[in-house]
Amino acid sequence: MLLGQYIAEHDATVRDTAAVFGVSKSTVHKDVTEKLSKEAPSLYSSVAAVLEKNKAERHLRGGAATKLKYELKKLSSPVDKKGEHDGGVLP
């Protein structure tokens, strides 16, 4: 129940919760989906709503991470005299 309370109170992802409690993502997911629904149905509904919201937003977080990765890569690549980045790609 502690994992479920944390997710509900902090609007946390399964990954964040696993990191805080030092357990695997699989353990968190199984505990909050299977065990919590039987032990604390009202808490389970709150947690399920957070998990559903996180699932709906995950493509946005992934896109933001990819964008950041390539922006950092662009900043660290050498610039030629014309101001063009040499990304190592042949024309």
Residue-wise pLDDT for 5-43, tens only, equals: 999 999 999 999 999 999 999 999 999 999 999 999 999
Q: Is the pLDDT of residue 90 over 70?
A: no
Phi-psi region of 28 (alpha: psi -120 to 50; beta: other; left: phi over 0): alpha
Kindly report the average pLDDT of the chain as a whole number: 86
Entry pTM: 0.66
For 18-30, letters b (16+ CB in 10 Å) and e give beeeeeeeeebbe
